[in-house]
């Protein structure tokens, strides 16, 4: 008779201990991009709400930016890198042929005992990875988890593509997640619609192409319902929220969802897109870090290529 296998003892819940962000040194206004796509600052602001974004320099690669954000998050959490069980990196812009980003980040952090893996769910990558980290901790498979969203979108965007050039920025955002006696990371509500995968895709040269109007219609149709389902799964209402932190894809999507949820004036709505652009998998943690004085329940919603989507309620540290 085969003996039963032992199982690890997990934790009742998990929580976000700290949040940090890395923003590249160079800021690029709309004028510089508008000249390349035969457009204007006014058109860009009206179309998506972006005024400027950050562009990474050659020395600001995915690993450097991720490590900078994660190092600050670890210091703020008071967690030694040696005690980290897993490093998760959400990214859609890694272009290496073999090596994934996470092992390099773990090595740079000094997290020598940690498992490390990339998670590719495009702009939904952060909530996907957050749900993974929560499950690892509650199952006992991990103690502390470092989760980073990091993107160099300039590597995968055509600067003359009128549909994408003005939207994206570069940067990284990180959180440290640890065990908790209460559930401070709510149940994830997620899914994917592969039938729409051609709406956001890479061409033969590895450049991102997007059917903008179709993606906009898809997002505005799915995000409000996804947000409501995440609130229901967490057992709270929109009135209980302190913040709404969606993927920073387009100000019109953010505003339409906030209106659909009938968010009260007390709810802080993240609008980091204004001066940071769409930073892919980094956008939610960067937007979270931009609300340093906000604590309590926050609704996170991610959506993007795949088409993938995910949402959950968390308690901000």
123 is catalytic: yes
94 is catalytic: no
Which of 183, 247, 250, 276 is labelled catalytic?
A: 247
What whole-number distance in Å separates Cα of residue 18 and Cα of residue 184? Answer: 13
Q: Tell me if 90 sits within 8 A of 300, measured CB to CB.
A: no
Name the strands in the sheet holding 144-152, side by side, starting at the edge strand that comes first in the sequence.
13-22, 170-180, 144-152, 84-90, 115-119
Which of 48, 94, 123, 183 is labelled catalytic?
A: 123
Which of 30, 250, 276, 278 is labelled catalytic?
A: 278
H-only helix segments in the chain = 30-34, 41-48, 62-77, 101-109, 125-139, 212-234, 251-260, 273-276, 283-289
Buried b (16+ CB within 10 A) or exposed e, 7-44: eeebbebbbbbbbbbbbbeeebebeebbeebebebeeb
3 state SS of 237: coil
247 is catalytic: yes
The pairs formed by 259-267 with CB atoms below 8 angstroms and a separation of 24 or more are 260/224, 260/227, 261/224, 261/227, 261/228, 262/238, 263/238, 264/238, 264/239, 266/242, 267/238, 267/241, 267/242, 267/243
Radius of gyration of the chain (CA): 19
Q: Tell me if 132 sits within 8 A of 116, measured CB to CB.
A: no
Active site residues: 123, 247, 278
């Amino acid at each position: 008779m085969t003996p039963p296998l032992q199982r690890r003892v997990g934790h009742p819940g998990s929580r976000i201990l700290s949040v940090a962000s890395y923003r590249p040194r160079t800021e690029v206004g709309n004028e510089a991009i508008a000249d390349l796509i035969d457009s204007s600052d006014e058109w860009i602001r009206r179309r998506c709400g972006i005024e400027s974004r950050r562009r990474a320099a050659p020395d600001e690669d995915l690993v450097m930016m991720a490590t900078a954000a994660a190092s600050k998050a670890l210091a703020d959490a008071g967690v030694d890198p040696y005690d980290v069980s897993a490093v998760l990196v959400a990214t859609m812009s890694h272009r290496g042929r073999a090596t994934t980003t996470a092992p390099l980040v773990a090595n740079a952090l000094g997290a020598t005992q940690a498992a490390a893996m990339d998670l590719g769910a495009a702009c939904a990558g952060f909530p996907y990875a957050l749900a993974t980290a929560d499950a690892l901790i509650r199952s006992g498979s991990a103690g502390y988890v470092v989760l980073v969203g990091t993107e160099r979108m300039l590597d995968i965007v055509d600067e003359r593509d009128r549909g994408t050039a003005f939207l994206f920025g570069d940067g990284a955002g990180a959180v440290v997640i640890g065990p908790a006696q209460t559930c401070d990371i709510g149940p994830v509500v997620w899914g994917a619609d592969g039938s729409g995968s051609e709406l956001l895709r890479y061409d033969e040269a590895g450049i991102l192409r997007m059917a903008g109007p179709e993606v906009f219609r898809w997002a505005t149709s799915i995000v409000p319902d996804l947000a409501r389902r995440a609130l229901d799964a967490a057992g709270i209402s929109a009135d209980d929220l302190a913040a709404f932190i969606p993927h920073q894809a387009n100000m019109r999507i953010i505003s339409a969802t906030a209106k659909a949820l009938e968010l009260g004036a007390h709810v802080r709505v993240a609008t980091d897109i204004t001066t940071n652009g769409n930073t892919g998998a980094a956008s939610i943690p960067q937007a979270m870090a931009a609300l340093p004085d906000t604590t309590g329940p926050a609704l996170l919603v991610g959506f993007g290529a795949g088409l993938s989507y995910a949402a959950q309620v968390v308690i901000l540290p």
